[in-house]
Structure 1
Amino acid sequence: MIMFFATGAVGVLVGLSGVTPPNLKIMITLMSIINIGLGAFFTFIYLTQIQGEPDARKKKRKQKLD
């Protein structure tokens, strides 16, 4: 998730800077916005997960001490 946000932010900065050729400015900026959108989507999916119940079959049973 952080990867999407970081590459999106760097892409926006590079796309809007004077270093980028004029014919690539809009393409780099749009791809950066898509990266930021993907980061937001995956963050939403991660934060809204429902915790699964532990499987009773895998639970260790206590041994009887005689």
Structure 2
Amino acid sequence: MKLDKVIDLKDGLKQRFDEIVQTINSRDSLLEEFDEVIFNALVEKIEVLTPAHFVLELKSGMRVVEFEE
């Protein structure tokens, strides 16, 4: 049973990763400005802890902590 859950989790992460790669590869040129489609493909949610401290939770499960000075 545990192995099935691990396999399902791995498959889900692989699918999300493939979607992200496909979105990025669909571009015809280099990214020169904000792209809402790519942002939405990468970011699951943004957690604002204070006006100068926030956390981006990516669809891959990775969390990116940012501090603004």
Q: Normalising by the residue count of structure 1, what TM-score does the alignment of the two structures yield?
A: 0.40
Q: Normalising by the residue count of structure 2, what TM-score does the alignment of the two structures yield?
A: 0.38
Structure (1/2) with the larger helix percentage: 1
